[in-house]
Amino acid sequence: MPDPNPQDFHRLRFLSDLTPGPGGGALFLETSVEAPEQEGDPPRYLSRLWLQRDGKRRALTQEDTARPRWDGGRYVYFLRKYDQVKQLYRLDLAGGEAERLTSFKAGVEGYVLGPEGALAVLTRGDEAPAKPGTPRVYDRLPFKFDGVGLLPERSRQVRVRRSDGGWSEPSELPTDVDAAAWDERGDELVLVASGDFEERRRWIQRLYRWRPGGEAREIGGGFGPVSDPVFSEDGGSIYFVGYDWAAGIGASPGVWRLPRSGGEADRLTPEALYVGLSLVSDVHYGDYGRALEPDGEGGFWFSVTEAGEGRLYRLRADGGVEGPLPLPGSLAAFAVIEGEVRHTLLEDYHRPPVLYTGGEAVHDPNADFLEGWPAPEAFRWRSSEGHDVHGWVLLPEGEGPHPTVLYVHGGPHAAYGRAMLFEFYLLRSRGLAVVYANPRGSVGYGQDYAQIKGRWGEADAADVLGFLDAAVERFGLDGDRLGVAGGSYGGFMTNWLTARYPDKFKAAATQRSICNWTSFWGASDIGIRFSELELGAGLWEAPELYWQKSPLAHAHALKTPTLVVHAEQDHRCPIDQGETWFAALVNRGVPARFLRVPEEGHELSRSGRPDRRVKRLEEIVDWLTQYLLP
């Protein structure tokens, strides 16, 4: 393989938004990075809609497209920006230009198709977005969210299209509606929203039945987040994916069933299974679909994160669970047609998602570029406490011992695995080995393994350091030239490890990190709830815990040359965390460099503007090679 460089990011193509298409085909988006149209403009993403059917592929749109859905007849629906906000469009498959169906000043944030042409949209109606520089006043939390910024005053509600082409009055739930699904047997929907703003702040959602023109009726939930609602085929039950906070923040989401009339919900999948896909990758762009789809026989297909892979399971009508079902790759998305999983997006360590029909790969837009790229070597390290830590080593070419970078994923309730990380291959091309693992706190290894409440910097640190030492010994790596890097929770761990083990690492790259829990508590969009769940106490209950768990409390020991990367509009781990850590490094006389990225949020590394993502990659590669290579 030729050595890649950060600019090669522009060559990647991203498949996403897989959904059933006409004639048993697959609709999907293919996103490319397009060169500027005018000198001085930045590059941009362009997502085109394609139909794959009968071995042939046809482009349906040339302009940017999002969230496509086929109505089962003559139309494909999708979202597209119009006058700075997204509106809903409809494309006649018989030909012609796409028709814009909505003109809400606030745009459309989502939509669901129903029986016999029924259509519902999620919108804030005609509240125009606030003009930049306008003072805003709030009297409740949350008032901001990462990737959105300051939240609008009007809540997001559901409106249904009338037969005359107009729109119904909105649903009147007390907070934003986050999901909706039609009853295929009638004109009723199930909606997901929090019961009040305190519940929204505490990540608790409920399910409501709503008929346009009437009042919404609460029927269940109230124990944690809810997603992917769907009516059973007979209409008597509602299924959904949900968390139960009673099991802690490391709880595995499961498939639940709720009577249509309301009452207690039953969990149908075992707690050992983490329903949904949470593998870390920097070659995803777009939406990767629902975790739960009907199988046409009274049961459901559902996705699972397990042992570093995306897997497909089935919940039978009798309550039995089957799986994992064999797939030639790690599941990223699936499309069900007539009860059968007909199409999938499958990925691998060294390959972004590829479109499969059955077991055959039918479209891989990156095949030529990535030909010959090697997969990492997997192994498990048995800790002294008796548990296995699963991880990987990506080795460079040539004789060792190789200088090595330890990477720590974000979350912490996510996972590395069989999903590509382009960033790692850039380091490999410069002669660096990359070691990465799923320490305690990661998902996909059982619910108990994911629970590290109050043990940040303890159980997890022991796992990543133990795995690193085992990898150095097993693969003959250079234990005297070690670096450490990571983002979000991985940034916290980078800060923590360099402060607590100041002589172990020769270089570090901390990104969108936490260094001070006390300031994070109030400044982050999720600070209060996240801190309580992860640390196990409120700020005033245990202020000393917040300080002792903060890397800043131990920054007096810092020695490791460190690159700090932070986006200025990051509301998840606000910019003050990066500023403070950089100030601590400079104050202690440690070599440091600060990359501040304007107009970007917490998702810079995954969906930031292409030129800014490339700049980030260049800085990380240059910094780590500067201090780790001879």
Q: Is the pLDDT of residue 9 over 90?
A: yes
pTM of the model: 0.97
Q: What pLDDT, on a 0 to 100 scale, did the predictor assign at position 1?
A: 66
pLDDT at 186 over 90: no
Provide CB contacts within 8 A for 446, sequence distance 6+: 252, 271, 272
Asked whether the predicted pLDDT for residue 79 surpasses 90, the reply is: yes
Is residue 405 predicted with pLDDT exceeding 80? yes
Q: How confident is the model at residue 630 (pLDDT cuts 50, 70, 90)?
A: confident
Average pLDDT of 285-309?
96
Tens of pLDDT along 125-150? 998 888 888 999 999 999 999 999 99
Q: Is 149 helix (H, G, I), strand (E, B) or coil?
A: strand
Homologous superfamily of domain range 381-628? Alpha/Beta hydrolase fold, catalytic domain (3.40.50.1820)
SS3 label, residue 3: coil
Q: What is the pLDDT of residue 302?
A: 98
Rounded-to-integer distance, Cα 268 and Cα 348, Å:
29
Q: How far apart are CA 310 and CA 306, in angstroms?
A: 6
Tens of pLDDT along 376-391?
Answer: 999 999 999 999 999 9
Indicate whether 272 pLDDT > 80. Answer: yes
Instruction: Give the model confidence (pLDDT) of 156-178 as tens digits.
Output: 999 999 988 899 999 999 999 99
CA-based nearest residue to 282, from 616, 559, 622: 616
Q: Is the pLDDT of residue 253 over 90?
A: yes
Q: Which of 522, 603, 519, 618 is nearest to 567 (CA)?
A: 603
Could you tell me if 276 and 293 are in contact, meaning their C-beta atoms sit under 8 angstroms apart?
A: no
Contact present, 77 and 99 (Cβ < 8 Å): no
Residue 209 in this model has a pLDDT that exceeds 90: yes
Query: Can you state the angle between helices 610-628 and 422-429, rounded to 10 degrees?
Result: 40
Q: Where are the beta strands (DSSP E) in 232-376?
A: 237-242, 254-259, 266-267, 274-275, 292-294, 300-306, 309-315, 321-322, 330-337, 340-348, 351-357, 360-363
**Are the beta carbons of 370 and 353 closer than 8 angstroms?**
no
562-567/507-511 β-pairing: parallel
pLDDT > 70? residue 581: yes
Per-residue pLDDT tens for 501-522?
Answer: 999 999 999 999 999 999 999 9
Q: What mean pLDDT is predicted for residues 187-191?
A: 95
Question: Mean pLDDT, to the nearest integer, of 391-399?
Answer: 97
36 vs 498: which has the higher pLDDT: 498
Mean per-residue pLDDT, 247-262: 94
Assign 2 a pLDDT band (cuts: 50, 70, 90): confident
Q: Is the peptide bond before 43 cis (omega within 30 degrees of 0)?
A: no
Q: What is the rounded average pLDDT of the residues 421-428?
A: 98
Average pLDDT, the chain: 96
Terminal Cα distance for the chain, rounded? 24
Which DSSP letter does residue 419 get?
Answer: S
